[in-house]
Structure 1
Amino acid sequence: MTLTLEQLAEEALDLPSEGRALLADRLVESLDPAKDGYVRRLWTAEVRRRLDEVRADRVRTITGDEALERAQ
């Protein structure tokens, strides 16, 4: 049995948030695998920049719970 796009979307939306996030990540990565290395390099540079800011005390970190609370 083949699911329609709408049925597949409904099934995906029933997943827990972590499952939806993992699925979304896999779908985005599948869009253009040729650029995957480029995107990884960009994210690596961003992570290093943010880590440098934290180590230099230019930003204040918050807990994951606080971040989720703010997002809601």
Structure 2
Amino acid sequence: MTAQTLEILAVVDSLPIDMKLELIDHLLGSISPTNKEVEEAWKEEVERRIDEVESGEVKTIPGEEVFARMRERYNK
């Protein structure tokens, strides 16, 4: 790594988590720009799923149970 890269990483390491997340979002966007239509479709999907959970139409499964099922299914 260059000295400049190491300096940037040192600054990034000192940032609070919310600023790191903003930086990550910016960097990812600069590497792979998002398609606005796809982004909007995902937002709509997230809202739909939130509505389903809040209305009781679907029930959530605790993470531990999901991982236990996955281990059972794929560790055979």
TM-score, length of structure 1 as denominator length: 0.58
Q: Could you list the runs of 5+ residues in structure 1 that have no partner in the other structure?
A: 61-72
Is there any run of 5+ residues in structure 2 with no aligned partner, and where?
A: 61-76
Aligned residues: 57
Q: Distance in 1 between matches of 2:59 and 2:38?
A: 25
**What's the counterpart of residue 54 of structure 1?**
53
Cα deviation, residue 38, structure 1: 5.1
Which structure has the larger Rg?
Answer: 2
* Inter-partner Cα distance in structure 2 for 1:19 and 1:50: 28
Q: CA RMSD in A?
A: 2.3
After the TM superposition, which segments of 4 or more aligned residues of structure 1 sit over 4 Å from their partners?
none
Matched residues in 1 for 2:38 and 2:25: separation? Answer: 13
Share of identical aligned residues, percent? 28
